[in-house]
């Protein structure tokens, strides 16, 4: 059995596809490009595919990672030539020989977050605000738990990096590296709401647009690395 690992984008209108819709799309495109797919056993055989991390509807992404099991090797040029609807593009592919699961090893994700405020915030000292925010004793948000009940979540330990990259009249762009995966995740919109909430300005947020830039795992030295490079020996 062969594992084909792919990196793809999800941009423009395609960001509005739900995770289920995206999986169906991959399945169908692989099918009509006659990839030698491996199927699950049972009454409803489905191709064996795994996605590193579902992306929320409305978020775009420059670098999503998924794996599909094949029964025989297909040249990578052929894989890279597979056409998806405009907005989705395969940008890298490789065969991997690892039992490590993308989902289990994912630890962080990097985001660009574009925030549009209802009023002009050009003069606000956002850089200092971020520093003060990150150094606060505690910042908690209310999050729905698995049992459906609201619980409070301490978010500062989940933030690996948080910085401002652009500050305009009403528009600000932040970059953030946030914990993501099975050990707990922080959603970038929740971060922005908590941040502006910290300064009593959450109600001034007009819209938040999110782009995922990278999916990361933590290697044996504690370094964050692109999950596409996940192998048995790292």
Partner 1 sequence: MNLEALLHQVEKPSRYIGGEINTFSKEIGDDTIRFCFAFPDVYEVGMSHLGMQIIYSLLNQQKDVFCERTFSPWPDMEALMRENHYKLFSLETKSSIGDMDILGFTLQYELSYTNILNMLNLSGISLYSKDRHDREPLIIAGGPCAYNPEPIADFVDIFFIGEAEEVLLEFLEVYRPYKSGQISKNEMLLKAANIPGLYVPKFYQPTYDESGILLGYQRTEAVPEKISKRFIRNFDEGFTLETMIVPFADIVHDRAMIELFRGCTKGCRFCQAGMLYRPIRERKPETVINTIDKILSSTGFEEISLTSLSTMDYSKIGPLVTDLVEKYEKENISLSLPSLRLDSFSIDVVEEIQKVKKTGLTFAPEAGTQRLRDVINKGVTEANILDTYKNIFSLGWHRVKLYFMIGLPTETTEDLDGISEIANLGTFTFKQVKPEYMKKSVQVTVSTSCFVPKPFTPFQWMAQETVDGFYSKINHLKTKLLNKKVVYNYHDPVTSVLEGVFARGDRRLSKVIETAYFKGCKFDGWAEFFKPKLWDEALKECGIDPDFYTSRERSFDEFLPWDIIDAGINKQYLISEYQKALNADSTADCRDGCTGCGLNVNLIGGPC
Question: Residue 67: which of 31, 34, 92 has the closest Cα?
Answer: 92
Kindly determine how many residues on this chain lie close enough to bind partner 1 according to the rule CB under 8 A.
27
Q: Are strands 171-179 and 159-167 parallel, antiparallel or unpaired?
A: antiparallel
Name every residue whose Cβ is closer than 8 Å to that of residue 33 and which is 6 or more positions away in sequence.
82
Nearer to partner 1 among residue 116 and residue 226 (C-beta): 116
Q: How far is the CB of 11 from partner 1 (least distance, A)?
A: 11
Looking at residues 74 to 103 of the shown chain, list those that interact with partner 1 (rule: CB under 8 A). Answer: 85-87
3-class state of residue 14 by DSSP: helix
Select the span of 12-20, 95-103, 134-142, 180-188 touching partner 1 (CB under 8 A): 12-20
Cα distance between residue 72 and residue 80, in whole Å: 16
CA atoms within 13 A on the CB side of 63: 14
Cα distance between residue 131 and residue 128, in whole Å: 5
Q: How far is the CB of 87 from partner 1 (least distance, A)?
A: 7
- Asked if 21 is part of the footprint of partner 1 (rule: CB under 8 A), the reply reads yes
Question: Residue 11: which of 86, 90, 112 has the closest Cα?
Answer: 86
Q: How far is the CB of 25 from partner 1 (least distance, A)?
A: 6
Select the span of 8-16, 91-99, 183-191, 220-228 touching partner 1 (CB under 8 A): 8-16
Nearer to partner 1 among residue 118 and residue 151 (C-beta): 118
- Asked if 57 is part of the footprint of partner 1 (rule: CB under 8 A), the reply reads yes
- Asked if 25 is part of the footprint of partner 1 (rule: CB under 8 A), the reply reads yes
Nearer to partner 1 among residue 36 and residue 145 (C-beta): 36
- Asked if 24 is part of the footprint of partner 1 (rule: CB under 8 A), the reply reads yes
- The label of the residue with tokens 């590193």 reads 52
Distances (CA, A) of 224 to 106, 145, 177, 184: 10, 27, 10, 16
- Asked if 44 is part of the footprint of partner 1 (rule: CB under 8 A), the reply reads yes
Q: What is the dihedral of CA 224, 113, 139, 225, to 10 degrees?
A: 0
- Asked if 29 is part of the footprint of partner 1 (rule: CB under 8 A), the reply reads yes
- Asked if 20 is part of the footprint of partner 1 (rule: CB under 8 A), the reply reads yes
- Asked if 207 is part of the footprint of partner 1 (rule: CB under 8 A), the reply reads yes
Q: Are 129 and 136 in contact (CB under 8 A)?
A: no
Give me the residues that bind partner 1 (CB under 8 A), please.
13-14, 16-18, 20-21, 24-25, 27-33, 39, 43-45, 57-58, 85-87, 207, 209
């Amino acid at each position: 059995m062969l594992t084909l690992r792919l990196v793809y984008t999800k941009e423009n209108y395609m960001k509005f596809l739900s995770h289920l819709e995206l999986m169906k799309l991959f399945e169908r495109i692989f099918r009509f490009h006659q990839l030698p797919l491996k199927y699950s056993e049972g009454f409803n055989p489905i191709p064996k595919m795994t996605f590193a991390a579902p992306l929320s509807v409305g978020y775009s992404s420059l670098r999503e990672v998924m794996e599909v099991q094949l029964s025989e090797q297909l040249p990578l040029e052929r894989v890279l030539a597979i056409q998806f609807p405009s907005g989705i593009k395969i940008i890298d592919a490789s065969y991997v020989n690892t039992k490590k699961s993308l989902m289990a090893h994912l630890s962080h994700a990097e985001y660009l977050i574009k925030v549009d405020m209802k009023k002009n915030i050009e003069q606000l000292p956002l850089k200092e605000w971020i520093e003060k925010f990150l150094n606060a004793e505690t910042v908690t948000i209310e999050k729905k738990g698995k049992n459906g009940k609201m619980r409070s979540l301490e978010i500062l330990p989940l933030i690996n990096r948080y910085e401002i990259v652009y500050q305009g009249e009403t528009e600000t762009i932040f970059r953030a590296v946030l914990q993501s995966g099975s050990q707990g995740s922080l959603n970038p919109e929740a971060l922005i709401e908590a941040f502006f909430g910290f300064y009593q300005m959450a109600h001034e947020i007009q819209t938040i647009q999110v782009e995922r830039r990278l999916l990361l795992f933590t290697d044996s030295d504690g370094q964050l690395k692109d999950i596409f490079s996940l192998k048995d020996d790292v």
